[in-house]
Amino acid sequence: MSKEISKSPEMLQKEARIKELHQQIKKERSTLKGLKTRLKNTKQEITDIQRKMSNAVFGSMEKMEKLRLKIIELINTCKKFKTINNADKEQLNMLIAEMEESQEGEEFDLFQKNKESPEFEDEQRAKMHDIFQQFKVKPPQEEQKNIRKIFINLSTNFHPDKARNDKQQKEYHSLMQEINEAYQAGDIDRLLELEKIYLGEKAADFTGKAITVDLLTQEIERLTRDLTFIKNQITRMSAEIKALRKSELGNMLTDINRAEKYGMGVNAMTEDLGSHVENMTELKDILQLCVEEKSMEPMKKFIEQKMAFSPLDFMEGLDMDDDDFFDPESMFDGLFDDEPQPVKNPKFPIGTSVQIKKNIKYPYDYKIQMKGWQGRVINVYKIDDEINYEIQLDSIALEKLPKNLIAFAIDEGFEFQLAELEATDIKKVPPRDTLDEAIATYRTILHKIQWDYLPKKDNVLMQEILLKFPEKSDQDNWKLWLTENLQLPLNGKSRGYYDYPTKTKMKIKSIDQWDDIGGLLVIVDKNGKGIIDHPLCDISTSGKQKKILDLYDEWMDMAF
């Protein structure tokens, strides 16, 4: 009689449950791994951009400081000309005063002093780490206690003081570092892995003959615990990613990535600094010519030709007000101000149709007044004691917006269909359209303009996909269109966005479901080594269907 036949129905049921839990944990760990990669990459991108912008700013500041000192030296030389009159000397003194006032501040001096220091990079990394910590979502108190139990169990077993010899002490020291890092980072999944690896002998051994119902029950409880921990970590990490992407830092990253598509990026965002350097260089060259000719005539001719103003007026173009500089610190100003709070029992509940009753200017073009416009309340929030109503314009109001204004709003990343108002600005009215009509109008206007930068055929195809059902979401339209048009199975390769190296072979078997972070998931056979779900945006292909996946990746880049 086989062992399988001798097992009771209860044992078979529990073994099946254990197998099911293992599969669920494997799937959730794959999702979590992708989230970790995405969070890590997002933080790295933000850190890299911050560093690039800081370097660009301080690099320009260094150039201007050298130019400033050289200009003061040249002015002092010009003041000694025998032919110089009192009026010219007075204006040169005023130029020196302007130059001395434009000296860079303490932050620049600190940068100059510390930039070569080995600790400087460490300090910058620590600063960014502290900033990113603000977005971290902590577990509830009860869950934190349970996580701490696992941490204490591991640290108790592997404290270096418990080592039997020097070799084991080194191993324990390294392991304790890993345990502490995982605990400090809130990475419960890593703690569970370490628990399984190093305390596995305390778990049930299912390879022996003495398998009991109690042992199986204990294993089910342990796996259920692990699955719950991992799912909760996924929820927290998803919230952390969303909060980071929606923050000022995330918006900066989105803006720069979008600018990169148009060939701009960081350099374009700091181009004002270059113009200041050019102006000061031009002034230095003119003063150098004055010194060579021992006369102020080159300066006077330059001003007459270029500006038709006095030298002091010319200096206005060199003035460096606080707003002219990109301050690496100012990137984070106001980032952690009080968060909007929900409002209980607002005067106009969410879903209420309202009309703007005052002459309020449209946010993106102050020549346009919004009095008489209608929409629906989609959000009510309070910051301090101020209550704000977020209004989504209805289809009639949207159709009146100028196309060039909408194009500007889209390019700048503004939500042209929204207006934020106070209760005194609006009144309740009957709706002029349905919610579906308002959504369909907004999406039609958006997608007929948003993809203008694509080649004509790509633009037309993108609109065909996203506007097949205008009242439905982008996600719904993509899933419907791909279900009908993507020819499966389809061979592809990883783009390297997530867990697998670039060009890892994958075969798309079927379309699965939407994920808040990875977008549309598809079931793939990864190089013949197992069936998993994987973000479609990470897969490229060749041939006729290449365009479809490339367009989807383009949409994901814009939408997420």
pLDDT exceeds cutoff 90 at 442: yes
Residue 534 to residues 63, 514, 524, Cα–Cα distance (Å): 49, 11, 7
pLDDT 10s digits, 522-551: 999 876 767 778 889 889 998 889 999 999
Residue 441 burial (CB count, 10 A)? 21
Burial of 549: CB neighbours in 10 Å, binned 0-12, 13-18, 19+? buried
pLDDT 10s digits, 219-266: 899 899 999 999 898 888 888 888 887 788 877 777 676 555 545 556
Distance from C-alpha of 166 to C-alpha of 143, rounded to nearest angstrom: 36
- Determine what percent of the chain is predicted with pLDDT higher than 70: 81
- As beta bridge partners, residue 491 has 507
* Residue 225 near residue 203, CB atoms below 8 Å: no
- What is the pTM for the complete model shown? 0.49
- Tokens representing residue 253 in the block: 């990253």
pLDDT 10s digits, 337-377: 445 688 888 999 999 999 999 888 887 666 788 899 999 99
pLDDT exceeds cutoff 50 at 463: yes
Distance from C-alpha of 174 to C-alpha of 159, rounded to nearest angstrom: 10
Q: How confident is the model at residue 438 (pLDDT cuts 50, 70, 90)?
A: very high
Sign of the torsion formed by the C-alpha atoms of 16, 22, 24 and 26: negative
- Tokens representing residue 415 in the block: 């939500």
pLDDT 10s digits, 50-100: 777 777 777 777 888 888 889 889 989 988 888 888 888 888 888 888 787
Residue ranges of domains in the chain: 3-44+138-240, 341-449, 456-559
pLDDT 10s digits, 302-327: 776 654 334 444 444 444 444 433 34
pLDDT exceeds cutoff 90 at 444: yes
- Tokens representing residue 461 in the block: 């195809």
- Tokens representing residue 236 in the block: 């927290």
Angle at 206 between CA 189 and CA 198, to 5 degrees: 40
Residue type, 294: K
Mean pLDDT of the chain: 80
Q: 13-22, 134-143, 201-210, 404-413 — which is least confidently predicted?
A: 201-210
Distance from C-alpha of 417 to C-alpha of 362, rounded to nearest angstrom: 11
Q: Cβ contacts of residue 311 below 8 Å, gap of 6+?
A: 91, 92, 94, 95, 299, 303
pLDDT exceeds cutoff 60 at 330: no
341-449: what fold? Answer: SH3 type barrels. (2.30.30)
Residue type, 203: A
Distance from C-alpha of 41 to C-alpha of 67, rounded to nearest angstrom: 39
Q: Are strands 519-526 and 531-535 parallel, antiparallel or unpaired?
A: antiparallel
Residues shown for the chain: 560
Q: Label residue 68 left, alpha or beta by phi (over 0 means left) and psi (-120 to 50 means alpha).
A: alpha
Q: 210-219, 282-291, 481-490, 522-531 — which is least confidently predicted?
A: 522-531
Q: Are strands 539-540 and 490-494 parallel, antiparallel or unpaired?
A: antiparallel
Nearest of 498, 502, 558, 560 to residue 533 by alpha carbon: 498
